[in-house]
Amino acid sequence: MSLMNAKEIMDLIPNRYPILFIDRVEEMVPGESIVATKNVTINEEFFQGHFPGDPVMPGVLIIESMAQVASILILKSPEFKNKTAYMGDIKNAKFRQMVRPGDVITFKVNMIKKRSNTGSVECEAYVGENKVCDAKLTFIVSKEERNQ
């Protein structure tokens, strides 16, 4: 049973199809850590043009997925309610294994620090027990409330 489904995720972050990549939030300690998943299917639009004879999920979309999970974590903090988190920095991104259709990616994100309008997180992505990517991301949180 998931903690948040796709509808609840869309209520929190502004991303929509075809750029919403998170299917479920499995665990969360608001302001501290989160675990979320994405089911990778052959029907995803990016597979039409990204090595169609040998489909591989683009690394930049794995990073975007991590950013979406981190946004959920950050925006679940009471002080950031109804705000929007924008990516400010990507550090030490490493791609360790290809992600293919049929894989389920599990994202684990831990808050490093949170300030009045910024946040830094450590992100890891796994397929099964295999780490496929990791990175440190920094976010800037809007001062204005977003329209629901």
- Bridge partner list, 139: 87, 119
CB–CB of 76/30 below 8 Å? yes
What are the backbone dihedrals phi and psi of residue 126, each rounded to the nearest 5 degrees, phi first? Answer: -130, 145
Kindly name the residue from 46, 50, 136, 140 that is annotated as catalytic: 50
- Reported as a single tens digit per residue, the pLDDT across 24-72 is 999 999 889 999 999 999 999 999 888 889 999 999 999 999 999 999 9
Split at pLDDT 50, 70, 90, the class of 97 is very high
Query: Active site includes 69?
Result: no
Q: Percent of the chain at pLDDT above 90?
A: 79
- What CA dihedral angle connects 15, 135, 31 and 115, to 10 degrees? -100
Question: Global pTM?
Answer: 0.94
> Going by CATH, does the domain composed of 6-141 fall within 3.10.129.10?
yes
